[in-house]
Each structure stands twice: as C-alpha cells, then as structure tokens.
Amino acid sequence: MVAFKNHLPQQDIQVLANRLAQLIETLPKLKATTRALLLAAYVPPKQAEFLRRRGIDYADDAGNVHLDAPGVLIHVEGKRPDRTNTKPRGITKGWVKVVLAGLLRPTLFEGPYHELAAAAGVTAPTVMTCLRDLQRRGLLDARGRHRRTLIGRRELLPLWTHAYVNTLRPRLNERRLRVQKAVPDDLLRRVQEVLKAHDIAWCTTGATTALALTHYYQTDVTEIYAAPDAITDAVARELKAQPTQGEANLIVIEPPIPNLVRQTTQDDAVPTAPALLAYAELRYHGTGQANDAAELLLPLIEAPDAPTT
C-alpha cells in the first residue's frame, strides 16, 4: 500500500496513519510482512518518529527514508528540504472560515457565492478565491458557477484542521475566567442559567462537547463559544467568576463563523458546537488526552453525510 502526500506538513499525521491502516484492512489478504509506504515532499522528524512507531515506511524528496523489510533496513534522517521563497498559497483566515462553513453545510459549496460568504462571515471575493484554491487542490469539482461539488472531504479535513489550529484559532478573541468552587457539571448549569437570563447566545466546544458526544475525557476547564465582550463584569459576577490571564476554568472563545451559537430557552439542553469544531479545539490543545478524545470524534465528522452537531 503506497500513499503520496504533497502537503504532509499540513496533514494531521494521526488521521493519515489511521486511514492507511483502514485502507490496508480493506485490501485482499496480504502477507504478514506487508507495510504501508508514505511518499511525501518532506517528512518532519516528529512525524517520522510517529510513522515508525505505527509501522509505516516513508520516503521524501529531501532524502529522508525508512524502509523496513525482511532482511533489509534502510534508514536515513536529518535532511531538511532546501529553503525557498515560495509561501503557501490559499491558507488564510478567510479560507478557514469558508471551508468551515462548507464542511458544516456542504450544500453551501453548490449555491451562490453570497450565501457561502454570509455563512462564513467573509466577502464574496474571499469565497471565490477559496473555491479556486480548493479546485486547484483537486478537492472541489467546479463545472460551473452553480455546479460545484466537494469531492475531497476526507482529504480536506486534516488540511482544514491544521489551518484552523495555526491560522484562525490563535486570532480568535478569548475571555478567561476563574470560577471559584465549581465542578464542570455545576458550572455548565450556572453558565446556562446566567447566559439565558442575559439573552447571550452560546454553545460548548472542545473537551466539553466531546464529553457530551463520546462520554470520554472530562477536564476541569469548560470551553464555550460566545461573544467575549458579551461577558461583561456584571455577567462575570453572576457567574461568580473573576477575569484572569492565568489558569482559568471557564474560557469564552469568539465564535469562528456567524450563526454558530444561539440563545437558549428554559427547556433547552446544553447547546454544543458541531463535532468538527470540538475536534479542532482538541487538536489545538494537542495534549495526549486531547488527541485521544479527538480520535473518538472522527467517525462523527469524516463521512460525507455525517452529523455535524
């Protein structure tokens, strides 16, 4: 089994390794010594170490190689690709927003530019630039202005995740709060009561959403999407919270696109972000437990018709 990745630095290596393992399982019965081989423009050292642990061979254009076959072991490492002045094209904050809106509602890729622009909170020219980039990458089939279809969802997911983590997420505003003597369940109930009373739209994200969807990985930190400036000092006092620049157990994150959060009513359950965004937030944290929790969300977001909430 051979896979070629031209943009490996932008791929989620764990997702890629899992996908190779799944592909091997679908092939006709193979010899016990059969291994996957990854070809890439460049395999960074940390990714190379991960691939070796997973039993995946690799080779890149810079000369780094690991081939482990019966009676043969080839291992070359330490070479970096030649520096160039060419900057990656297409990956901007607007690109991340447009792709996010389209991944959550794939029909937006097929409709008018202005509808996708409104959903992503960007301009129509930004949408056109993003769609051209997706077409150039072979991820979007564009046969006309109103005949566009996303054909590379699985390939797009790790690319988008990397872009969210590195391009958009660090630019989202936050309000960090420290709530005294609050366990996560009690804190969520308090957040729901107070934000409802002030008509503040919100939803959980990250580990908080992952716990609701998979019943795995409970942390002491509750993360929500809401307008940070809506959490005024008066609202914070009702939450029994103090603003902090240090350790926080309630983090209010600016929603990455419009209409992601909504106001709740008294009978509503705790609102949750789409699984895709919970996954991206976990990857943003990047700890071992966060990555494990993210893996459990993959079945909810990889399939073309997978639920997004």
Contact present, 241 and 269 (Cβ < 8 Å): no
What integer pLDDT is reported at residue 82 of this predicted model? 55
User: Mean pLDDT score of the chain, rounded to an integer?
Assistant: 86
Q: Which of 76, 105, 120 is the last residue of a domain?
A: 76
Distance CA 264, CA 279 (A): 23
Predicted confidence (pLDDT) per residue in 215-228, tens digit = 988 899 999 999 99
CATH number for position 270 = 3.30.460
CATH number for position 109 = 1.10.10.10
pTM exceeds cut of 0.85: no
Cα-Cα-Cα-Cα dihedral sign, residues 99, 8, 301, 226:
negative
Residue 206 located in a structural domain = yes
Kindly tell me if the per-residue pLDDT of 305 is higher than 50: no
Residue 84 located in a structural domain = no
Residue 233 has phi, psi (to 5 degrees) of: -60, -35
Domain containing 13 equals 2-76
Query: Average pLDDT in the 261-289 region?
Result: 88
Residue 87 located in a structural domain = no
Contact present, 176 and 245 (Cβ < 8 Å): yes
> In the chain, how many domains are there?
3
Kindly tell me if the per-residue pLDDT of 66 is higher than 50: yes
CA atoms within 13 A on the CB side of 46: 5
294 and 203 inside one domain: yes
Cα–Cα distance list, 214 to 161, 211, 254 (Å): 20, 5, 24
Residue 308 located in a structural domain = no
Query: Average pLDDT in the 5-9 region?
Result: 48
Distance CA 142, CA 149 (A): 7
What integer pLDDT is reported at residue 145 of this predicted model? 58
Cα-Cα-Cα-Cα dihedral sign, residues 184, 185, 189, 195:
positive
One-letter amino acid for residue 234 of the chain? A
Cα–Cα distance list, 138 to 16, 39, 60, 153, 282 (Å): 18, 18, 21, 11, 28
Grade residue 36 by pLDDT with cuts at 50, 70 and 90.
confident
What integer pLDDT is reported at residue 90 of this predicted model? 66
Residue 190 located in a structural domain = yes
Contact present, 156 and 7 (Cβ < 8 Å): no
Q: Which of 153, 169, 185 is the last residue of a domain?
A: 169
Distance CA 220, CA 207 (A): 10
Residue among 101, 183, 113 nearest 142 (CA) = 113
Cα–Cα distance list, 309 to 49, 75, 149, 169, 212 (Å): 34, 44, 22, 20, 11
**More confident call, 183 vs 76:** 76
As separate numbers, helices (DSSP H) first and strands (DSSP E) second, the chain gives 11, 12
